[in-house]
Amino acid sequence: MSFPATLNDPAHIVEMDRAHVWHHLTQHKAFETAEPPVFVEGRGLRLWDIHGRELLDATSGGVWTVNVGYGRRSIADAVHAQLLALNYYAGSAGSVPGSVFATRLLEKMPGMSRVYYGNSGSEANEKVFKMVRQIAAQHHGGRKWKILYRERDYHGTSLGALSACGQPQRCADYGPFVPGFVEIPHCLEYRAQFHDAADYGQACADAIEAIILREGPDTIGALCLEPITAGGGVITPPPGYWERIQDLCRRYEILLHIDEVVCGLGRTGTWFGYQNYGIRPDFVTMAKGVASGYAAIACTVTTEAIFDQFKRAAPDDMDYFRDISTFGGCLAGPAAALENMRIIEDEGLLNNTLLMGARLHANLLGLMGRHASIGEVRGKGLFWGIELVADRTTRAPLDETIVQRVVAECRKAGVLIGMTNRSLPSFNNTLCLSPALVATAEDIDRIGESIDRALTACLG
Ligand code: PMP
**260 CB near ligand 1 (under 6 Å):** no
Q: Which residues contact 29 (CB under 8 A, 6 or more apart)?
A: none
Q: Binning pLDDT at 50, 70 and 90, where does residue 110 land? A: very high
What crossing angle do the helices spanning 332-346 and 349-370 adopt, rounded to 10°?
Answer: 70
H/E stretch holding 335 reads helix 332-346
Per-residue confidence (pLDDT) for residue 314, from 0 to 100: 64
Q: Which atom of ligand 1 is nearest to the CA of 156?
A: 11
Per-residue confidence (pLDDT) for residue 316, from 0 to 100: 66
Q: How far apart are CA 159 and CA 365, in angstroms?
A: 39
Q: Binning pLDDT at 50, 70 and 90, where does residue 313 land? A: low
* pLDDT tens, position by position, 22-40: 999 888 988 888 898 999 9
Q: How far apart are CA 438 and CA 393, in angstroms?
A: 37
118 pairs with which residues across the strands?
298
Q: Binning pLDDT at 50, 70 and 90, where does residue 54 land? A: very high
| C-beta of residue 375 within 8 angstroms of C-beta of residue 369 | no
Q: Is the pLDDT of residue 449 over 50?
A: yes
Task: Give the residue whose CA is nearest to atom 13 of ligand 1.
Answer: 121
* pLDDT tens, position by position, 225-274: 999 999 999 999 999 999 999 999 999 999 999 999 999 999 999 999 99
For CATH 3.40.640.10, list the domain ranges present in the chain: 74-346
User: What is the CATH superfamily name and number for domain 37-68+348-459?
Assistant: Aspartate Aminotransferase, domain 1 (3.90.1150.10)
Region 374-380: what's the mean pLDDT? 98
118-155 burial code (b ≥16 CB/10 A, e <16): bbbbbbbbbbbbebbbbbbeeeeeeebbbbbbbbbbbb
Ligand 1 geometric centre to CA of 197 (Å) = 32
Ligand 1 geometric centre to CA of 120 (Å) = 7
Q: List the single range of 89-93, 96-100, 142-146 with lowest mean pLDDT.
A: 89-93
Q: Which atom of ligand 1 is nearest to the CA of 123?
A: 16
Task: Give the residue whose CA is nearest to atom 12 of ligand 1.
Answer: 121
Task: Give the residue whose CA is nearest to atom 1 of ligand 1.
Answer: 155
| DSSP letter, residue 420 | P
| C-beta of residue 147 within 8 angstroms of C-beta of residue 181 | yes
> Measuring CA to CA, how many Å separate 454 from each of 225, 358, 411, 415?
33, 22, 9, 10
Give burial (CB, 10 Å; 0-12/13-18/19+) of 193: middle
Per-residue confidence (pLDDT) for residue 5, from 0 to 100: 46
Region 182-201: what's the mean pLDDT? 92
Pocket test for ligand 1, best of 60, 225, 288 (most atoms within 8 A of CB): 288
Mean confidence (pLDDT) of the chain: 95
- Where helices occur in 45-182 by DSSP H, the ranges are 73-85, 96-107, 121-139, 159-162, 168-171
**112 CB near ligand 1 (under 6 Å):** no
Pocket test for ligand 1, best of 66, 155, 159, 258 (most atoms within 8 A of CB): 155
Can you give the pTM of this predicted structure? Answer: 0.97
Closest CA to 274 of 259, 289, 288, 287: 259
* pLDDT tens, position by position, 207-218: 999 999 999 999
| C-beta of residue 109 within 8 angstroms of C-beta of residue 272 | yes
Q: Binning pLDDT at 50, 70 and 90, where does residue 6 land? A: low
Closest CA to 397 of 235, 196, 191, 193: 191
How far out from the chain centre does Cα 423 lie? Answer: 18
* pLDDT tens, position by position, 316-350: 678 899 999 999 999 999 999 999 999 999 999 99
Q: Is the pLDDT of residue 196 over 90?
A: no
Per-residue confidence (pLDDT) for residue 195, from 0 to 100: 82
Ligand 1 geometric centre to CA of 457 (Å) = 33
Q: Is the pLDDT of residue 426 over 70?
A: no
| C-beta of residue 379 within 8 angstroms of C-beta of residue 228 | yes
Ligand 1 geometric centre to CA of 282 (Å) = 19
Q: Is the pLDDT of residue 2 over 90?
A: no
For CATH 3.90.1150.10, list the domain ranges present in the chain: 37-68+348-459
Q: Binning pLDDT at 50, 70 and 90, where does residue 46 land? A: very high
| C-beta of residue 163 within 8 angstroms of C-beta of residue 128 | no
DSSP-derived pairing of the beta strands 383-391 and 430-433: antiparallel
Per-residue confidence (pLDDT) for residue 1, from 0 to 100: 45
96 HSE (CA, 13 A, CB side): 11
Domain 74-346 has CATH 3.40.640.10: yes
Ligand 1 geometric centre to CA of 284 (Å) = 13
